Amino acid sequence: MSLSLQNKEKIMEYIVFLDRDGVINVDSPKYIKNESEFEFIPKSPEAIALLTQNGFKVIVITNQSLIGRNMISRKTLEGIFNKMMEGIKNAGGDILDIFYCPHTPQDNCSCRKPNPGLILAGQKKYGIDLDNSFMVGDSAKDIECARNAGCSKALLVKTGNGLNARQQLFKKDIIPDFIGTDLYEAALWIINSVKH
């Protein structure tokens, strides 16, 4: 499911896919069920602004099984996204689009990470060259999703579930291209990797 925020021509440039919970905002084992529970991780809006100001297009891809579990409505989820967008915009950043999976793990869909469906949907919509794409996540399934989709680089951040994810990935012999403290550090690494 795509929450289309802007109508833009197809683009052929650097794309950064971001997970939401645990990367942009503080995650919760009880899920983020309304706008009041949404809280930015420090410096995450500034990190997205840094990417935007350096010419990167940012797309959020996120599993949101709360929809499939009937815990929240799509309208409530869109309200949470709007709050996120407002905070990022106020920091000087921009999100090109948001793609989310509303299904539960039992649905066996192709869009729930670690399956590559959300990234591939973004690729199809915007004509993305995945050789010029990055994925930043805090979980093993984010990094696996990046690998399954064919993203050039997959970055793990230690916020959210990052520390547990690192152990899970190493057991599967999946090595992230970079492990950073948070999204801001990941953004700096992405920008420097392109400039060099």
DSSP code at position 23: T
- CA gap 157, 176 in Å, rounded: 10
| b/e per residue 130-139 (b: at least 16 CB within 10 A) | beebbbbbbb
Per-residue CA distances from 143 to 29, 136, 148 (Å):
20, 8, 9
Catalytic residue among 19, 27, 97, 138, which?
19
Please, are residues 32 and 81 in contact by the beta-carbon 8 Å criterion?
A: no
**Which own/partner contact pairs does 84-88 have at CB distance under 8 Å and 24+ positions apart?**
84/20, 84/24, 84/25, 84/38, 84/40, 84/60, 85/5, 87/40, 87/45, 88/45, 88/48, 88/49
21 is catalytic: yes
**What positions carry a catalytic annotation?**
19, 21
